[in-house]
């Protein structure tokens, strides 16, 4: 279970134009902050609550790179106006529209008819920084501004702070530059409290309010196996930061917390390994042998990690906290709530996988429903239906053909930009379809790819889906992933349930069987009965589920609602496994209120599926750019 908001271009390894301030500008990223353009009077402005003045910006564009920007905000005739300079793109005085500033929140739009964009950011209590994100073309990269005061490098770096017994300083990794970092040591064996220690990585995003709320938000990432710190630039966290601290703890076995990484598909730059067996036995055995040199693989389960987290909570001086997460992050958040309810004020989760979730078992029905909606929605769209009138049958034909014999073909590897000979099995095809259904801007191309594959052309689908699959897989520490799944899911499978949940579906039971085989080779930890306790809790809980989510469909979250007397589920009809501006806003407002009572959820009805790709007549049959 993973989520991603990357565009198809970046997921496929093609550099994406993240900003597109004007169609003629090239997407050149800079690694150094800009020099002040207009230093006069800025020290005085930094002490004022107003937004007028010059601001130095840094837009993260991936790979540790940043695009320099200069924002100019003026008040003319009682109305705010603004413009942007983009030194790295050779552009100045790009006009902005709808500039507004209220409740310390700055908003503006970039009225480019070809690629309109918008910005939302929250000003810090001292008026020196604005933390936010840029929305354009389906992406929402972080964009921070600091007042132009002659020291842009310092202004764009958060200052050291102390929380309880932990001292936080500027993070060394460029990808974490918007946060503050600390380490916290725990015993790997918490029961024995002796032996090997793990230095857990903790990232703090300090509240932007002058008087922060006492209850921080602890945010968990998906997987299992993704590092919480990889969410440091998520727009949702900027919304949480308006009034309270946000804390990201790399769960043991992930990120910089004794990461248990292994490449179960072989060389990440080699496409071939991603189109064959899901968990090759030889690689699983090798992975276990290598990781057992640095870890006791039985001790990387969710309950043990939540004990780590509770120790960090206490060390930082928080009594009650709010917990949030998506996908497996929802499992971790709800596990902490289950094990330490006295310390949770509220829980808000998306892509809901409750604590008794059995990894991969709901995939078959979830993928089946997402595909059925894909075919139905394409048929209801005149352009899509005209281009692909037999889409459902074409898909069935492709599946039947692969079931008889794997397909061998040449495809361009987006990582190396070289053609490779690929052999794709039905099982691998199934996994790549599932991965494509995670990502809204990949789904728009699925009808086109299916239509091509029905004619025997697999190359474009393979190249694009490899990019998505590889990106999702790169987020995960597979060793930790297996330690969690093999202790908390696979032991609870039973044959009758497997047959019932996977019968008569395209996805079938192959992934479940792959986990069973892999877990037969893996060390299995113990899980306390308290984790799977279903007694009712009184903590307010909000669950966000996407109707076309292939891996955590709404019925999974609905099954857990009875465990919470103050629980509510919101279903986004066109929602996938990805975050949306609407759901981010609901989650942030819920945490602010501490209850779902009175929460206006109507925006979920406005979330639309992106238009399906139909090649123009002049270029019909050409791959999407």
Per residue in 273-293, pLDDT (tens digit) is: 999 999 999 999 999 999 999
Q: Model confidence over 444-485: pLDDT tens digits?
A: 999 999 999 999 999 999 999 999 999 899 999 999 999 999
Contact 382, 389 (CB under 8 A): no
Q: Confidence class of residue 502 from pLDDT cuts 50, 70 and 90? A: very high
Q: Is a pLDDT exceeding 70 seen at residue 227?
A: yes
pLDDT at 51: 92
In Å, what is the CA distance from 536 to each residue of 331, 349, 539? 16, 17, 9
Taking residues 312-318, what's their average pLDDT? 98
H helices present in 316-423, as ranges: 328-339, 363-380, 382-387, 391-404
Q: Confidence class of residue 84 from pLDDT cuts 50, 70 and 90? A: very high
Q: How is residue 27 annotated by DSSP?
A: -
Token digits for 429?
């095809």
Assigned CATH class of 8-155: mainly beta
CA neighbor of 403 nearest in space, from 389, 424, 417: 424
Q: Which of 41-50, 112-121, 448-457, 478-487 has the lowest mean pLDDT?
A: 41-50
pTM, to two decimals: 0.86
Q: Is a pLDDT exceeding 70 seen at residue 322?
A: yes
pLDDT at 156: 57
Q: For residues 218 and 232, what is the distance between their CA atoms, to the nearest angstrom?
A: 12
Burial class (CB in 10 A: 0-12, 13-18, 19+), 334: buried
Q: Is a pLDDT exceeding 50 seen at residue 11?
A: no
Q: Is a pLDDT exceeding 60 seen at residue 491?
A: yes
Residue reference for tokens 């310092």: 154
Q: For residues 10 and 8, what is the distance between their CA atoms, to the nearest angstrom?
A: 6
Q: Is a pLDDT exceeding 80 seen at residue 15?
A: no
Contact 149, 39 (CB under 8 A): yes
Residue reference for tokens 């955590």: 552
Contact 543, 557 (CB under 8 A): yes
Beta bridge partners of 56: 70, 146
Q: Is a pLDDT exceeding 80 seen at residue 145?
A: yes
Rg (CA), the chain: 24
Residue reference for tokens 């990357």: 6
Contact 203, 247 (CB under 8 A): yes
Q: Is a pLDDT exceeding 90 seen at residue 494?
A: yes
Between 472 and 41, where is the model more confident?
Answer: 472
501 phi, psi to nearest 5 deg: -80, -20
Instruction: List, by residue range, all CATH 2.40.128.120 domains of the chain.
Output: 8-155
| Mean of all residue pLDDT scores within the chain | 88
Q: CB count, 10 Å around CB of 192?
A: 9
CA neighbor of 53 nearest in space, from 77, 71, 35: 71
Taking residues 594-620, what's their average pLDDT? 90
User: What's the gap between Cα 315 and its chain centre?
Assistant: 28
Q: What size, in residues, is the chain?
A: 625
DSSP 491-508: GG--HHHHHHHHTT-SST
Hey, what's the torsion of the CAs at 443, 449, 454, 459, to 10 degrees? -140
In Å, what is the CA distance from 52 to each residue of 46, 98, 99, 171, 382? 10, 15, 11, 30, 48
Tally of CA atoms within 13 A in the half-sphere of 528 that contains its CB? 13
CA neighbor of 346 nearest in space, from 325, 362, 364, 328: 325
Angle in degrees, 0-180, between the axes of helices 363-380 and 495-502, rounded to the nearest 10: 0
Contact 177, 170 (CB under 8 A): yes
Q: Model confidence over 365-408: pLDDT tens digits?
A: 999 999 999 999 999 999 999 999 999 999 999 999 999 999 99
Q: Model confidence over 514-541: pLDDT tens digits?
A: 999 999 999 999 999 999 888 999 999 9
Q: Confidence class of residue 16 from pLDDT cuts 50, 70 and 90? A: very low
Give me the percent of the chain exceeding a pLDDT of 90: 75
Q: For residues 603 and 582, what is the distance between their CA atoms, to the nearest angstrom?
A: 6
Contact 472, 463 (CB under 8 A): no
Q: Is a pLDDT exceeding 80 seen at residue 63?
A: no
């Amino acid at each position: 279970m993973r989520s991603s908001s990357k565009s198809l271009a970046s997921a496929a390894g093609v550099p994406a134009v993240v900003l597109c301030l004007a169609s003629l500008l090239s997407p050149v990223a800079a690694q150094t902050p800009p020099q002040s353009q207009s230093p006069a009077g800025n020290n005085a402005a930094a002490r004022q609550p107003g937004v007028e003045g010059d601001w130095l910006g840094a837009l993260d564009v991936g790979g540790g790179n940043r695009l320099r920007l200069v924002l100019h905000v003026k008040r003319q005739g009682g109305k705010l106006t603004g413009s942007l300079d983009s030194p790295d793109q050779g552009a100045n005085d790009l006009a902005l529209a709808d500039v507004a500033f209220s409740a310390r929140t700055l908003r503006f739009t970039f009225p480019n008819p070809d690629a309109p964009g918008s910005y939302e950011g929250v000003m810090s209590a001292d008026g020196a920084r604005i933390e936010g994100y840029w929305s354009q073309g389906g992406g929402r990269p972080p964009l921070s501004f600091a007042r132009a005061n002659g020291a842009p490098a310092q202004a764009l770096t958060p200052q050291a702070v102390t929380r309880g017994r932990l001292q936080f300083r500027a993070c060394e990794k460029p990808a974490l530059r918007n946060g503050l970092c600390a380490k916290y040591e725990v015993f790997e064996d918490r029961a024995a409290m002796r032996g090997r220690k793990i230095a857990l990585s903790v990232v703090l995003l300090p509240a932007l309010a002058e008087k922060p709320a006492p209850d921080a938000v602890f945010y968990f990432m998906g997987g299992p196996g993704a590092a919480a710190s990889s969410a440091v630039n998520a727009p949702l966290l900027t919304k949480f930061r308006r009034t309270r601290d946000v804390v990201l703890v790399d769960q043991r076995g992930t990120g910089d917390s004794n990461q248990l990484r292994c490449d179960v598909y072989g060389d990440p730059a080699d496409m071939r390994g991603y189109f064959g067996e899901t968990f090759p036995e030889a690689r699983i055995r090798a992975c276990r042998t290598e990781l057992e040199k640095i870890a006791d693989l039985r001790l990387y389960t969710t309950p043990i990690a939540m004990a780590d987290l509770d120790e960090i909570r206490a060390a930082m001086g928080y009594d009650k906290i709010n917990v949030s997460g998506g996908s497996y992050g929802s499992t971790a958040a709800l596990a902490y709530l289950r094990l330490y309810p006295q310390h949770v004020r509220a829980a808000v989760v998306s892509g809901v996988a409750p604590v008794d979730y059995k990894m991969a078992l709901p995939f078959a029905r979830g993928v089946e429903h997402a595909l059925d909606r894909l075919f139905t929605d394409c048929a209801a769209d005149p352009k899509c239906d005209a281009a692909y009138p037999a889409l459902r049958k074409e898909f069935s034909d492709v599946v039947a053909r692969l079931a008889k014999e794997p397909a061998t073909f040449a495809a361009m590897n987006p990582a190396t930009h070289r053609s490779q000979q690929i052999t794709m099995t039905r099982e691998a095809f199934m996994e790549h379809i599932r991965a494509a259904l995670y990502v809204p801007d990949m789904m728009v191309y699925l009808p086109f790819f299916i239509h091509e594959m029905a004619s025997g052309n697999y190359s474009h689908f393979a190249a694009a889906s490899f990019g998505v699959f590889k990106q999702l897989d790169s987020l995960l520490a597979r060793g930790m992933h297996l330690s969690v799944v093999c202790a908390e899911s696979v032991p609870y499978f039973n044959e009758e349930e497997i047959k019932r949940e996977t019968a008569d579906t395209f996805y079938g039971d192959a992934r479940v069987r792959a986990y069973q085989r892999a877990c037969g080779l893996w060390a299995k930890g113990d899980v306390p009965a308290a984790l799977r306790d279903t007694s009712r809790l009184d903590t307010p809980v909000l669950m966000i589920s996407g109707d076309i989510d292939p891996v955590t469909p709404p019925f999974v979250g609905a099954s857990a609602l009875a465990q919470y007397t103050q629980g509510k589920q919101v279903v986004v009809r066109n929602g996938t496994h990805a975050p949306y501006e609407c759901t981010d806003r609901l989650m942030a407002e819920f945490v602010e209120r501490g209850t779902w009572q009175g929460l206006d959820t109507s925006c979920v009805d406005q979330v639309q599926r992106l238009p399906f790709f139909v090649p123009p007549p002049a270029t019909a049959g050409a791959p999407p750019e």
